[in-house]
């Protein structure tokens, strides 16, 4: 029987898989953030919703959580209150995203699969909000990017701004 070992797919490390996914999601995120209109930064669709500025800034900062996850063992909101970057226009927003993305990629590319195994804790003082492995937290960061990006898509739709496709063409990109 012939040797079929050449038919086996190359085994990717977890770090390589995460880097690939991060780059794929970054392409869509970049397009979505670039559509935020400068004159709508205070707009929100509902009184309980974030403003488009708050939402878009959070999306832009999320790749930076990769760095935080890999370089710390926890985030304690009681000791480190959340202070978002003050973004005032879409050029700043996209630049901030690119900065956070580059930082997250740099730290992730230098990490090893073994560094994804230790636990990382999210807390508010004594209240433990979650404990997960660093790898699980990084996957949660990716999920948060996708989740909030979808929210931003609804905001943009309500403002009648064409939405870029995420995993294929959007309705705005289709020829009906």
List, for residues 43-93, the tens digit of each pLDDT value: 999 999 999 999 999 999 999 999 999 999 999 999 998 899 999 999 999
SS3 95: helix
Give me the sheet containing 74-76, strands edge to edge: 74-76, 119-124, 127-133
Where in the chain are the domains? 20-158
Residue 46 is assigned to a ligand binding site: no
Percent of the chain with pLDDT over 70: 93
Instruction: Work out the mean pLDDT of the chain and round it to a whole number.
Output: 94
Residues 28, 100, 132, 166, Cα dihedral to 10°: 0
Cβ–Cβ < 8 Å for 138, 18: yes
Angle at 24 between CA 27 and CA 155, to 5 degrees: 50
Specify the CATH architecture of the domain 20-158: Up-down Bundle (1.20)
Residue 58 is assigned to a ligand binding site: yes
Percent of the chain with pLDDT over 90: 89
pTM above the 0.85 mark? yes
Spans of the chain, pLDDT less than 50:
none
Q: How far apart are CA 103 and CA 60, in angstroms?
A: 12
């Amino acid at each position: 029987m012939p040797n079929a070992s050449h038919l086996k797919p190359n085994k990717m490390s977890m770090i390589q898989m995460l880097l690939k996914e991060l780059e794929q999601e970054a392409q869509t995120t970049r397009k979505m953030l670039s559509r935020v209109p400068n004159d709508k930064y205070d707009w929100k669709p509902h009184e309980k919703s974030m403003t488009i500025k708050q939402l878009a800034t959070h999306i832009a900062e999320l790749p930076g959580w990769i760095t935080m996850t890999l370089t710390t063992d926890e985030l304690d909101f009681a000791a480190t209150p959340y202070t978002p970057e003050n973004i005032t226009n879409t050029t700043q927003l996209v630049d901030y995203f690119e900065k956070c993305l580059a930082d997250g990629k740099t730290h992730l590319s230098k990490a090893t699969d073994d560094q994804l195994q230790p636990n990382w804790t999210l807390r508010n003082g004594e209240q433990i909000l979650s404990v997960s492995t660093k790898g699980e937290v990084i996957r949660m960061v990716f999920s948060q990017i996708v989740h909030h990006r979808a929210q931003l898509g609804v905001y943009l739709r309500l403002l009648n701004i064409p939405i870029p496709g995420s995993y294929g063409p959007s309705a705005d990109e289709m020829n009906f």
